[in-house]
Structure 1
Amino acid sequence: MKISARNQIPGTITALTPGAVNGQIKVDIGGTTITSSITEEAIAELALAVGDKVTVLIKASDVLIGK
């Protein structure tokens, strides 16, 4: 599958937190954790589990930084 997102970062799922509609997925990308909120349906369809090797895909029109 080809994807237009250019920011593709390999990582490992370290935590799954279920929710009523959306769950949170924490992914370790080499010492840094990225958290994603996706639907429970997507979690089930992808059969995601702690320890899985995944790719974090980031596509955004805006990236904000604050200090």
Structure 2
Amino acid sequence: MRISARNQISGTIVDVIKGATTSHVRVDIGDGTIITASITNAAVDDLGLKTGGKATVVIKASDVMIAVD
């Protein structure tokens, strides 16, 4: 697979929680650091995502914001 996004992090799926239309997929990227993605249930099924499977997290953000009190 070739993709223009530079932020690609490999990891292991630790959880797939399906809702009515959207799933939360939690990926351990090492040292217990978890990244969570919200994707459609159809995408989970199409990709065959399952706990224990390998996955690459791809991050493509137009905006990054930081706020403080």
State the alpha-carbon separation in 1 of the partners of residues 34 and 5 from structure 2.
19
**Structure 1 residue runs of 4+, over 3 Å off?**
none
Counterpart in 1 of 2:7? 7
Counterpart in 2 of 1:21? 21
1:10-64 superposed Cα distances (whole Å, 9 cap, x missing partner): 0100011001111000000112110000000000000100000100000011112
State the alpha-carbon separation in 1 of the partners of residues 60 and 46 from structure 2.
21
TM-score normalized by the length of structure 1: 0.93
Q: Which has the larger radius of gyration?
A: 2
Counterpart in 1 of 2:57? 56
- Work out whether 1:39 is the aligned partner of 2:50: no
Q: Percent identity among equivalent residues?
A: 57
Supply the RMSD in Å over aligned alpha carbons: 0.9
Count of aligned pairs: 67
Give the Å deviation of 1:7.
Answer: 0.1
TM-score normalized by the length of structure 2: 0.90
State the alpha-carbon separation in 2 of the partners of residues 5 and 48 from structure 1.
21
In structure 2, runs of 5+ residues without a counterpart are: none
